[in-house]
Amino acid sequence: MAEKRENRGHFRIVIWTSIAVLIGAAWIATSRPQSQCRCFPGDTCWPSAEEWDSLNKTVGGRLIATVPIASPCHDSFPGVSFDAEKCAQIQANWGRPELHYESTHSPMAAFFANMSCDPFTPRDAQCIVGAYVPYAVNASSAEDYRHTAAFATKHNIRLVIRNTGHDYMGKSTGAGALALWTRNIGDISVLDYESTGYTGKAMKIGAGVQASEAQEAANAHGLIVVEGDCPSVGIAGGYIQGGGTSPLGSKFGLAVDQVLEWEVVTATGKLLVATPNQNEDLYWALSGGGGGTYGMVLSVTVKLHPNMPTASATLSFIESSDAYWDIVQTFITNLPAIEAAGVTVYWQTIPGNMFRMPQSYFPNGTAEELERLLQPTLKALDRSGIPYDFSTTVFPTFQDSFNTLVPETDVYEVNIGGRIIPQSLVTSDSAALVDAIKTIVSNGGVLSGVSMDVSRLPPSPNSVHPAWRNSLFLAFISTMYDRHNMTANLIEHQKVTNVLVAALDKLTLSGAAYMNEADFNEPNWQQVFYGENYAKLLAIKRKYDPDDIFWGPTAVGSEAWEVATDGRLCKAGKK
C-alpha cells in the first residue's frame, strides 16, 4: 500500500525579477565578500535576480523567497503592511508548531531567529530576513535536491536542510543560506521487507513525513512505528538521524535502531541507497551520527511492530519539606526495575518541589503490573503522608495511550541543556544524583527525565553515542525563554551551561548528551554528542562531502567553519 500526503504548503507569490531587491532591502548591512566565506546577500558574488529566476524555473517554480511570518506586526518589511488583526492572530498562534512547520524559514527555537522579525517586539522594531534563510526550495524529488545543492555549490552559498523546524540546535536555519525544504516529501509505503538482517513489515517514510502521519498509516495495518513524543516532528530528519528517543524505547529501542535503509542524495548529486550491506559506511553514519551533514535524505525505511494494548500511569505530588527529595530518590533508584520490564517513563522535577510523571508506557502490560512496578515510590509516599495523584489505565492500542497522554503540544520555548545519565550512577551514588537535581531546581531549572532501557544492540551496528547502551535516563534541563529580551536569554543560557549542566558534569566526568536535545554551546561537543565514534564519522563526512557543502552547528566536521558577527559562514579563523 502506498499513500501520498497532500502538499499543504501555502506561499506568498513573489515576482521573481524583484526578488533580489526584496531580499537586499530587508537585510542588515553586510561587509564586503571574503574569499574564505560563503557568499552573502549584498556581496558582489550574490546571485542576480536572473540567476534566482533561473533556479526557480529549474525546480518547477518551487523556489520561495522568505517573507517573515511576523512581518504583518511591523511597518518595515518591503511589500507588507502592518495589520493589527493579523498580528494578533500570529501572536496567539506563535506557540503552535504548525505556524512554523508550514513556513519555509521560521525555527521553532526562537533563539535562532535572533528577533530578526519577531511578533512580540514593538511595531517599529526591525523586521528583516536577518537570521532566517532568504530562499528555500520546496523540494519534491531527488532532482530538486540535486539542483538545489548544485546551485549552492556553484555560487558558494551556505546550504541548509530544513524539515519541520523542530530543532533546538540551530541546524535548520542560517543567515544568507539557501534551504532545501523537505517538509512536503510525504510518501508513505507499508512494505513486506526482506534482507539478510530482517524479514517482516516495514515502512518507507518520505523525508517530510511527521510522526503522527506515519503512526496513522501504520495503525491502519494494525502496526506501530517507533516515534518520538511530539506528533509533528519529521521522522526521517534530525530526529532519527540523531538517535530518536521514544515512548516505545524500553520495548523496541531507539528510533534509529529500527532503520533498515536510507535513500540519500550526496553533495555531488548521486542518489544512493545505504543499508548494512550496501554503502554501509554511509548507513552507519546516517544512523545516529547527526542530521544535515553527510547527505540529503530522501527517505528512510524502518521496521514496524504489531500494535498492542498499552498500560499507562500518571503520578504527581507537591511537598515543601525535604521529604520531597527522599521520594524523588526512591523513584530514581526504582527506575532500573521499571525499565527492565519494558516501561518507558517521562517525569519532571519542577521549582517549588513539584514532581510530575505525566506519561508512562507499558506495551502489552497490565495496569496491575505497572502499579506493582511503581510500588516503592507509592509506598514511600504513603509512609510520608504526602498527598499525591495517581492513576492507571489500559488502552486498546499504543496510539490510544499516546493520543490521550500527549494532547496537542505547543512549542517548547526554553533554554536547554542535557545529559545522558548512566545506570551506574544510580546504583553507586543515587544521593549525589539527587543533590545535583536539587541544585538544578534551586537555580530555577526544570529537569525532565526520559527513562528508557535501550541497551539491546540492533542487528546492524549504528553510530549513536555508545553511552545510550548503558543509560538510565535522558536528563533534559531547561529554563524559560524570554520572548522580549534576548540579552536575558543569553544570560540564562550561560547559566544552563555553567551551573545547571555543570551540576551533572561533576558526577559524569565522561559526560554524554542526546545531540537533539542539548546545549548548543556545549564546549566539548565532539565527545559529548558523538563519543568514540567521532573520528570515524568525520572520515565518512570527508568521503561523501569533501567540500563541506553540508554544515550545521555541532554537526560532524562543523569545527572547520564558524559564523561571523554578521551571520555569514566562514572557514574557522578566516572571518
Helix locations, 259-394, DSSP H: 280-286, 323-340, 367-373, 375-384
CA distances from 348 to 314, 391, 437 (A): 12, 17, 10
Helix ranges, 466-548 (H): 486-495, 501-505, 525, 534-544
Please report the DSSP string for 455-487 in residue order.
-SPPSS---S-GGGGGEEEEEEEEEE--TT-HH
Domain stops at, among 125, 153, 181: 181
Q: How many residues does the chain have?
A: 575
Closest Cα to residue 460, out of 195, 201, 203? 195
Strands (E), 238-370: 259-265, 271-274, 296-303, 305-306, 310-318, 344-350, 354-363
In a domain, 553, yes or no: no
Same domain, 167 and 210: no
pTM of the entire structure? 0.93
pLDDT at residue number 10 = 35
The residue among 490, 513, 530 that closes a domain is: 530
Q: Please indicate, yes or no, whether residues 7 and 149 belong to a single structural domain of this protein.
A: yes
Is residue 536 one of the residues assigned to a domain? no
Task: Say whether both 498 and 379 belong to one domain.
Answer: yes
Q: Pull the grid cell for residue 138.
A: 520546496
Distances (CA, A) of 78 to 29, 91, 115, 247: 16, 21, 17, 45
Reference 178, options 295, 24, 46; nearest CA is 46
Q: In whole angstroms, what is the distance from residue 370 CA to residue 61 CA?
A: 54
Cβ partners under 8 Å of residue 136, min gap 6: 63, 64, 66, 104, 105, 162, 178, 179, 180, 181
In a domain, 126, yes or no: yes
Pairing between strand 135-138 and 63-65?
A: antiparallel
Indicate whether 318 and 202 sit together in one domain: no
Answer whether residue 547 is part of any domain.
Answer: no
pLDDT at 573: 84
The domain tally of the chain equals: 3
- What residues pair up with 8 in beta bridges, in sequence order? none
Taking the CB of residue 453, how many other CB atoms lie within 10 A of it?
A: 23
Looking at the structure, tell me whether residues 270 and 321 fall in a common domain: no
Would residue 548 count as lying in a domain?
A: no
Output the pLDDT for position 17: 32
State the Cα–Cα distance between residues 106 and 70, nearest whole angstrom: 10
Same domain, 232 and 339: no
Query: 201 and 299 share a domain?
Result: yes
The three grid cell numbers given for residue 89, joined into one nine-digit string: 492572530
Burial track 145-178 (b if 16+ CB lie within 10 A, e otherwise): bbbbbbbbeebbbbbbbbbbbbbbbbbbbbbbbb
Longest dimension (CA), the chain: 75
Number of helical (H) and strand (E) elements in the chain, helices listed first: 18, 21
**How high is the mean pLDDT in each 10-residue block of the chain (575 residues)?**
43 35 41 73 97 98 98 97 98 96 95 95 97 98 98 98 94 96 97 96 98 97 96 96 98 98 97 98 98 97 98 97 96 97 98 97 98 98 97 97 88 93 91 96 97 95 97 96 92 95 87 95 96 98 97 97 95 81
Q: Assign 530 to helix, strand or coil.
A: helix
**Residues in a beta bridge with 391:** 314
Q: Quick one: pLDDT at residue 411?
A: 87
* Structural domain of 42: 2-181
How far apart are the C-alpha atoms of 436 and 507, rounded to whole Å?
8
What's the pLDDT at 304? 98
**According to the model, what pLDDT value does residue 575 have?**
60
Q: Looking up cell 534566482, which residue turns up? A: 52
For β-strands 471-480 and 414-422, DSSP reports them as antiparallel
Residues 202 and 215 in one domain: yes
Which region, left, alpha or beta, applies to residue 25 given φ > 0 means left and ψ of -120 to 50 means alpha?
alpha
Cell numbers for 160: 541548509
Q: Is the separation of the CB atoms in 275 and 187 below 8 Å?
A: no
Residues 176 and 202 in one domain: no
User: Cell for 451?
Assistant: 527513562
Residue where a domain terminates, one of 273, 307, 341 = 307
Domain containing residue 297: CATH number:
3.30.465.10
pLDDT in the model for residue 364: 97
Does 17 fall in a domain?
yes
Q: Does 575 reside within a domain?
A: no
Task: Determine, yes or no, domain membership for 571.
Answer: no
Task: Give the CB-side neighbour count of residue 293, counting CA atoms within 13 A.
Answer: 29
Give the CATH number of the domain where residue 436 resides: 3.40.462.20
Based on the domain organization, do 87 and 141 belong to the same domain? yes
**CATH number of the domain that 146 lies in?**
3.30.43.10
Same-domain status, 275 and 349: no
C-alpha cell at 102: 508550514
pLDDT of res. 16: 36
Q: How far apart are CA 389 and CA 484, in angstroms?
A: 36
| pLDDT for the residue numbered 238 | 96
* Domain identity same for 499 and 453: yes
**281-285: long-range pairs with CB below 8 Å, 24+:** 281/540, 281/543, 282/540, 282/544, 283/259, 283/460, 284/461, 284/462, 284/463, 284/540, 285/463, 285/537, 285/540, 285/541, 285/556
**b/e map 386-410, b = 16+ CB within 10 Å:** bebeeebebbebbbbbbeebbeeee
Query: What is the C-alpha separation between 101 and 88, in angstroms, rounded?
Result: 19
The C-alpha atoms of residue 401 and residue 404 are separated, in whole angstroms, by: 5
Q: What is the residue whose three cell numbers read 495496569? A: 367
- Residue of 461, 536, 556, 473 lying closest to 257 (CA atoms): 461
Amino acid 508: pLDDT:
80
